[in-house]
């Protein structure tokens, strides 16, 4: 009954307008309360599932549709996480440390949005996101996402290869790293009051990693513009690395010859290093990385090295054996 109700809603959602999604979510929650009241027989995992987490979940503002052809090449080999799961269980510390920051994140102001291209490039400049999107080819890619905290999801992202932005930026031959700086707006982001964090949130990759075909910049998900809580209006999506590398709400891209010290390295470099490639055999100092919990079903599945994307990326690291590649 519980499961059946959820599946029915998912199918309807696929054809729904954004408004219908919001209404559908509200209707769903009505049903959820009933299911939970009767729910003594439900296993704990199912209650943590989509209904159990937040009974007073607000209706989120509708998002504009965004369509792009799905690339068949990146078949994820597992079910796509439901949209309500992927959009209401987030890490976005600028809005707070809870997983339920989706309502706080609605304060994010995404238009107009400009990205500054700086450092070792032919011509430092600011690009409006609208203009950037006119010069790239949007596609949909279903990627697996693996958070360092050992939860995982599978999401149909819409965006373009990071390599396209690198090309537009025209880095000089001296550039070796690409650094991503994300929005730090005190007026809308309550998390910034936690002054011990090294704001703004920054991330970085090598120029070779940035040029890899898997490295992606997402501007949409589930056939719509990306919602604030998932990193609107543009976020990195690096599926072979732990999720913290995928910086949200990017405002600046800097090309440099110096390896950056990123937000999480600054906080705890023994636990969250620069490379952060997924590897089930290398434990986090405080927990195993052997398995991951799938959002939605709470199924525990084995984690794969490079998050299963080794055929695309393992070659990037063959000459880096002395680096701490997996933490
Ligand atoms: N700016 C910013 N980007 C961020 C984070 C953050 O707190 N702030 N969290 C990271 C972590 S730890 C993960 S797992 C992913 C989560 O993305 P999601 O909320 O879309 O699942 O975003 C990453 N990007
Ligand atoms: Mo994460």
- Dump pLDDT digits (tens) for 220-232: 999 999 999 999 9
Q: Which atom of ligand 1 is nearest to the CA of 151?
A: 14
* Ligand 1 atom 7, closest CA: 92
For residue 12, pLDDT over 50 is answered with no
How many angstroms separate the alpha carbon of residue 91 from the centre of ligand 2?
Answer: 6
Residues with CB under 5 A from ligand 2 (ion): 91, 147, 243-244
pLDDT of residue 59: 76
For residue 15, pLDDT over 50 is answered with no
Q: Which CATH number fits domain 65-317: 3.30.1330.40, 3.30.930.10, 3.90.420.10, 3.40.50.410?
A: 3.90.420.10
How many angstroms separate the alpha carbon of residue 230 from the centre of ligand 1?
Answer: 7
DSSP string across 45-110:
HHHHSTTTS-TTPPPPPP--B---PBPGGG--SSPPPPHHHHHHS---GGG-SSS-TTTGGGG---
pLDDT of residue 58: 60
Give the total residue count for the chain: 327
How many angstroms separate the alpha carbon of residue 111 from the centre of ligand 2?
Answer: 26
**Of 14-28, 122-136, 296-310, the least confident:** 14-28
* Rounded Cα distance, 315 and 89, in Å: 33
* Rounded Cα distance, 78 and 127, in Å: 36
Give 224 or 25, the one with higher predicted confidence: 224
C-beta of residue 307 within 8 angstroms of C-beta of residue 240: yes
State if residue 182 touches ligand 1 by the CB under 6 angstroms criterion. yes
Give the number of whichever ligand sits closest to the CA of residue 202.
1
- Dump pLDDT digits (tens) for 73-115: 999 999 999 999 999 999 999 999 999 999 999 999 999 999 9
pLDDT of residue 51: 41
State if residue 90 touches ligand 1 by the CB under 6 angstroms criterion. yes
- Dump pLDDT digits (tens) for 254-278: 999 999 999 999 999 999 999 999 9
C-beta of residue 13 within 8 angstroms of C-beta of residue 24: yes
Q: Best of 94, 103, 243 to mutate for ligand 1, by most ligand atoms within 8 A of CB?
A: 243
pLDDT of residue 56: 54
> Given pLDDT bands bounded at 50, 70 and 90, which one contains residue 7?
very low
- Mean pLDDT along residues 287-293: 98
How many angstroms separate the alpha carbon of residue 204 from the centre of ligand 2?
Answer: 15
Reported pTM: 0.85
- Dump pLDDT digits (tens) for 152-173: 999 999 999 999 999 999 999 9
The packing angle between helices 2-14 and 18-37, to 10°, is 180
State if residue 243 touches ligand 1 by the CB under 6 angstroms criterion. yes
* % pLDDT > 70, the chain: 82
The H helix count followed by the E strand count for the chain is: 9, 12
* Ligand 1 atom 14, closest CA: 243
């Amino acid at each position: 009954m519980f499961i059946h109700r959820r599946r029915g809603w998912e199918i309807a959602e696929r054809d729904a307008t954004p408004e219908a999604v919001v209404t559908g979510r509200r209707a769903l929650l009505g049903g959820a309360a009933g299911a939970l009241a009767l729910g003594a027989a439900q296993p704990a995992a199912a209650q943590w599932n989509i209904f159990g987490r937040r009974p007073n979940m607000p209706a989120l503002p509708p998002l504009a549709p965004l369509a792009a052809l799905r690339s068949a090449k990146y078949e994820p080999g597992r079910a796509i996480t439901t949209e309500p799961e992927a959009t209401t269980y987030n890490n976005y510390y600028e809005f707070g440390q809870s997983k339920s920051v989706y309502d706080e994140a609605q304060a994010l102001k995404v238009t107009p949005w400009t990205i500054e291209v700086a450092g070792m490039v032919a011509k430092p400049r600011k690009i409006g996101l609208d203009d950037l999107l006119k010069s790239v080819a949007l596609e949909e890619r279903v990627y697996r996402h693996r958070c360092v905290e050992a939860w995982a999801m599978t999401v149909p992202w819409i965006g373009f290869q990071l390599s396209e932005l690198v090309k537009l930026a025209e880095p000089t031959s001296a550039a070796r790293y690409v650094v991503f700086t994300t929005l730090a707006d005190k007026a809308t982001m309550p998390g910034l009051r936690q002054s011990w964090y090294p704001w703004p949130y920054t991330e970085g990759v090598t120029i070779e990693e940035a040029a890899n075909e898997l490295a992606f910049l997402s501007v949409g998900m589930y056939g719509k513009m990306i919602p604030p809580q998932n990193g609107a209006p543009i976020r990195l999506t690096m599926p072979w690395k732990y999720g913290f590398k995928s910086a949200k709400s990017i405002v600046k891209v800097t090309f440099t010859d110096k390896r950056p010290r990123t937000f999480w390295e600054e906080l705890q470099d023994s636990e969250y290093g620069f490379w952060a490639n997924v590897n089930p055999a290398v434990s986090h100092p405080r927990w195993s990385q052997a398995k991951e919990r799938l959002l939605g079903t709470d199924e525990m599945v084995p984690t794969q090295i490079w998050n299963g994307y080794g055929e695309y990326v393992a070659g990037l690291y063959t000459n880096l054996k002395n680096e701490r590649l997996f933490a």
